[in-house]
């Protein structure tokens, strides 16, 4: 059973679970099931809460053993980073194949999460993945329409899918309202080296590792992966060789939707979401992919892990405002460094 909760409309950032119960839902866990969130941070408001920062702030570095606290920040960030990585991975896969960026991927994640919460159970999770896959195929349909008019300008496709992202956000707002939602499947934590670890944290990490491993196997150990790499490197050559490039690329968008839907289910059970989360997730995915220069899905996933850890440490040791601006800082730095590298190569 799930309940909705009021979320501030001025913030679209994903909340970070507190390190003492890292990977857990930002709720008081007493019994399994969905619990109401009192704020976008997922933490109950206290007298020390600041109106200007609704993000959940982990315990101060001075609390407890410094080494354990720092490790908790890292592990907390790794859990959020898994979701970022699973959002960036399919985006990078599409970019590696079509040389275009689908900026609506965050919308697929959030729509999947809300569908999973509405239906519930295994059926809800399956329906969420199917819905996200359908939306990704819709994005591919838009890409095909652009291709029929001539060579696709990557900026045109980015703007087009950003429009799709806006439509998805508006749909969620109309469908479920401005309230956020979160669900918890586990009622307890596991003690590991003095740290409280939610089973959901282990689920996130295992799912992320399984997705990356499966994708690498398909790309580098199967004929389909060989055909896909051939179509990505030389479209005309692949067509002359008799490869169905359109079908191969459609399969890439199917994978993108399925992985995004899976990320939505994990995010629902980890930190929750609101309709505003879509744009934030897209920005985090772009930043995660740009950390290592859009070199492929594996590096994009690793970039998501790095981004999650840096964000968690920034919240704990600096401020939530810095963590909120982190994806913009990374994107700006990557663009500046990339432009410099292009000039050097020229």
pLDDT tens digits, 24-47: 443 433 334 444 443 333 333 333
Q: Which residues of 26-40 are buried (b: 16+ CB within 10 A; e: fewer)?
A: bbebeeeebbebebb
Q: What pLDDT is attached to residue 241?
A: 87
The structure tokens listed for 106 are: 């965050």
Q: Rounded CA gap, 163 and 197, in Å?
A: 39
Asked, for residue 290, whether it belongs to a domain, the answer is yes
* Tokens representing residue 280 in the block: 């934030």
Residue 17 has pLDDT above 80, yes or no: no
Q: Is residue 63 part of a domain?
A: no
Tell whether 16 is covered by a domain: no
Per-range mean pLDDT, top range of 107-111, 177-181, 233-237 = 107-111
Burial environment of residue 12 by CB neighbours within 10 A (0 to 12, 13 to 18, 19 or more): buried
Residue with token string 């490039």: 245
* Alpha helices (H) in 180-319, listed in sequence order: 199-221, 223-233, 235-240, 245-270, 277-291, 297-317
Domain annotation covers residue 162: yes
The answer to whether residue 181 is domain-embedded is yes
Q: Name the strand (E) or helix (H) holding 7.
A: none
With respect to residue 255, please indicate whether it lies within any of the assigned structural domains: yes
Of the ranges 16-20, 184-188, 294-298, which one carries the lowest mean pLDDT score? 16-20
In a domain, 34, yes or no: no
Predicted confidence band at 235 (pLDDT cuts at 50, 70, 90)? confident
User: What is the distance between the alpha carbons of residues 264 and 284, in angstroms, rounded to a whole number?
Assistant: 14
As for how many domains the chain has, the answer is 1
Question: Which secondary-structure segment (H or E) carries 183?
Answer: none
Does the residue 53 lie in any domain?
Answer: no
Which ranges constitute the DSSP H helices of 149-244?
154-176, 199-221, 223-233, 235-240
Domain that holds residue 128: 81-304
Pairing of strands 4-5, 180-181: antiparallel
pLDDT for the residue numbered 339? 53
């Amino acid at each position: 059973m799930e309940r909705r909760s009021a979320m501030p409309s001025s913030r679209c950032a994903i909340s970070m679970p507190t390190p003492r119960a890292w990977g857990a839902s930002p709720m008081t866990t007493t019994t399994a099931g969905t619990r109401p969130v009192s704020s976008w941070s997922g933490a109950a408001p206290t007298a020390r809460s600041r109106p200007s920062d609704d993000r959940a702030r982990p315990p101060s570095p001075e609390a407890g053993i410094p080494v354990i606290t720092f490790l908790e920040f890292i592990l907390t960030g790794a859990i959020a980073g898994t979701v970022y990585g699973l959002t960036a991975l399919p985006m990078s896969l599409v970019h590696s194949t079509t040389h275009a960026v689908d900026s609506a991927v965050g919308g697929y994640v959030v729509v999947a999460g809300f569908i999973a919460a509405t239906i519930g159970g295994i059926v809800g999770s399956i329906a969420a993945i199917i819905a996200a896959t359908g939306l990704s195929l819709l994005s591919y349909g838009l890409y095909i329409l652009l291709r029929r008019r001539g060579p696709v300008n990557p900026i045109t496709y980015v703007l087009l899918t950003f429009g799709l992202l806006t439509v998805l956000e508006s749909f969620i707002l109309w469908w479920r309202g401005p309230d956020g939602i979160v669900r918890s499947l586990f009622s307890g934590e596991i003690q590991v080296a003095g740290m409280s670890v939610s089973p959901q944290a282990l689920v996130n990490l295992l799912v992320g590792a399984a997705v990356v491993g499966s994708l690498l196997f398909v790309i580098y150990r199967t004929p389909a992966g060989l055909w896909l790499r051939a179509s990505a490197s030389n479209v005309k050559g692949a067509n002359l060789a008799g490869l169905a490039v359109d079908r191969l690329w459609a399969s890439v968008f199917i994978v993108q939707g399925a992985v995004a839907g899976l990320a939505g289910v994990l995010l629902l059970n980890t930190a929750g979401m609101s309709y505003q989360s879509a744009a934030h997730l897209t920005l985090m995915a772009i930043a995660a992919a740009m950390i290592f220069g859009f070199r492929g899905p594996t590096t994009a996933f690793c970039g998501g892990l790095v981004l999650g850890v840096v964000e968690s440490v920034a919240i704990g040791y600096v401020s939530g405002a810095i963590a909120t601006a982190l994806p913009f800082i990374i994107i700006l730095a990557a663009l500046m460094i990339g432009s410099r590298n292009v000039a050097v190569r020229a």
